[in-house]
């Protein structure tokens, strides 16, 4: 049986400032680091063969914290990067609406066919994530793997495992920072969801506030 866990990186400075991050880097906040440490404690008793991380700093830093004392590799996978938001990266929503309102409206109305300026559209993003996720299933068959990625990336994974099409409001329904999800995949690639967006390890701490 193949078991895959996945988590979203800890809170970042740009998360707190409501800035579009995309492929740009933003440092983890103290809250984000604490959440990653609490997740590390939760998975201490889980046997993992490796961690696969988005190469973006916020995800890789989270992966390093979550690994804790485990003697396992952290493997970077470009396919698990967040969606490329192009020219919008680093900007707040109100700034984008003020400066590029028409372009923003076109994307919000049809994110599948309209790319972020100098970035990706939702269809391209989904296909990229889907490929990397299928590769993990094939390349780590009968192993226990943890994927550390981003809200949008995990929304694509959720769409794949639950067999639904992402809607245009997908950004508002992503998993919590440092939540934990888990699936099992059998030899015929049938997927069983064990738990999803679980934040039990964060409860009672500032990491969830």
Q: Could you give phi then psi for residue 105, rounded to 5 degrees?
A: -60, -40
Length of the chain: 209
Whether 9 sits among the annotated catalytic residues: the reply is yes
Residue set of the binding site for substrate: 8-15, 58
Collapsing DSSP states into helix, strand and coil, what is residue 201?
Answer: helix
Q: Map tokens 């890789």 to a residue.
A: 60
Handedness of CA 194, 81, 40, 206 (dihedral sign): negative
Question: Alpha-carbon Rg of the chain, whole angstroms?
Answer: 17
CB atoms within 10 A of CB 54: 25
Please identify which of the residues 37, 82, 89, 158 carries the catalytic annotation.
Answer: 82
CA–CA dist 74, 51 (Å, integer): 5
Residue 128 tokens read as 């990229």
Catalytic (active-site) positions: 9, 82
């Amino acid at each position: 049986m193949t078991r895959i866990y996945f988590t979203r990186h800890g809170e970042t400075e740009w998360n707190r400032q409501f800035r579009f991050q995309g492929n740009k880097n933003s440092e983890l906040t103290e809250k984000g680091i604490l959440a990653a440490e609490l997740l590390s404690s939760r998975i201490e008793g889980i046997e993992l063969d490796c961690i696969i991380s988005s190469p973006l700093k916020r995800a890789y830093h989270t992966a390093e914290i979550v690994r804790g004392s485990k003697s396992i590799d952290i493997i970077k996978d470009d396919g698990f990067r967040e969606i490329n938001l192009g020219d919008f990266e680093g900007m707040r929503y109100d700034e984008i609406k003020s400066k590029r309102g028409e372009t923003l409206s076109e994307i919000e109305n049809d994110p599948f066919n309209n790319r972020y300026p100098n970035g990706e559209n939702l269809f391209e993003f989904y296909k990229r994530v889907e490929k990397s996720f299928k590769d993990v299933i094939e390349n780590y068959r009968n192993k226990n793997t943890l994927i550390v990625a981003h809200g949008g990336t995990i929304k694509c994974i959720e769409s794949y495992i639950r067999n639904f099409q992402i809607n245009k409001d997908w950004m508002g329904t992503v998993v919590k920072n440092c939540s934990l999800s888990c699936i099992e995949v059998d030899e015929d690639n049938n997927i069983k969801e064990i738990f999803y967006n679980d934040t039990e390890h964060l409860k009672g701490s500032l990491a969830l506030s």
